[in-house]
Structure 1
Amino acid sequence: MVGDHVFIKIAPIKGVMRFGMKGKLSPRFIGPFEIIDRVGTLAYRVALSLNLAGVHNVFHVSMLRKYMSNPSHVLNYASLQLTLGLAYEEKSEQILDIQERKLRRRTIKMVKVKWLNHPDEEATCTWEIESNIRDHYPEFFGNEETVGLDG
């Protein structure tokens, strides 16, 4: 397997609650990177790029996925701000839609949020509760509290 190319698994920052939910986003892989040599029975040393210089270059096989060469693969990980644990923080880009979901006794306002760090082909939009988005991203909402309050 020395000389082959592999993807390396990265995931959102562990322990960070994104609007009260954990594990909502699936792990991502970056790469491809070339395997330099084998370290032990289940670990490999990988040639990382300069922007990942702070990351240890030995990975367990569970963190690697074999890369099958394909000219249509265009992978951009330079824009991601990775931590030393190969994690990144999700940030919202804009609100695409607003709707009200009616339950038996109440109505919940929902917003459709587009997230950064995802290519257009992936599922980049999720429905979130408006009050949670308003607390974390007040810049998306103008001075709407004063509108319509007559009397």
Structure 2
Amino acid sequence: MAPYEALYGRKCRSPIRWFEMGESSLFGPDLVHQAVEKVKHIPERLRITQSCQKSYSDVCRRDLEFQLELVHPVFHVSMLRKYIRDPSRIVPVENVQVMEDLLYEEIPIAILDRQVYKLRMKEVASVKVLWCNKNVEKVTWEAEKTMKAKYLHLFQPEGSI
């Protein structure tokens, strides 16, 4: 199988089959001359197609311009400072509980706030949760339903335990 046939799934059309069926009786220099004329049209048609594609892409494309008023595009070594070691920023390795899939579980400390979002047909309750990750504390809004399912002890009053 020829490479062209393997790639396109059909046989390659040789220059002899580029002509109409009635012209197939031509042989000799006339056939070669007509084949050369047909081949000359190929670069012209490619050029037309490329210009059409370029005009289409030029309509969709915009030039990006950046305003570097306060930020200089060059970072110089003289702007660096010496690193001062801070022991409070070091996380002890033995305290981090990493699972087999390289994830860790964050522990919620408290519920700080509750908010209800009113949509057209329903209401969605959210709670503001304070999370503890060893040395860093962060706050996120979570769905109240999922938090009650996982951490019910955070919603119970202090004296009821």
TM range (shorter): 0.3 to 0.5
- Greater strand share, structure number: 1
* TM-score scaled by length of structure 2: 0.38
Q: Which has the higher contact order (CA 8 A, sep 6+)?
A: 1
- Greater helix share, structure number: 2
* TM-score scaled by length of structure 1: 0.41
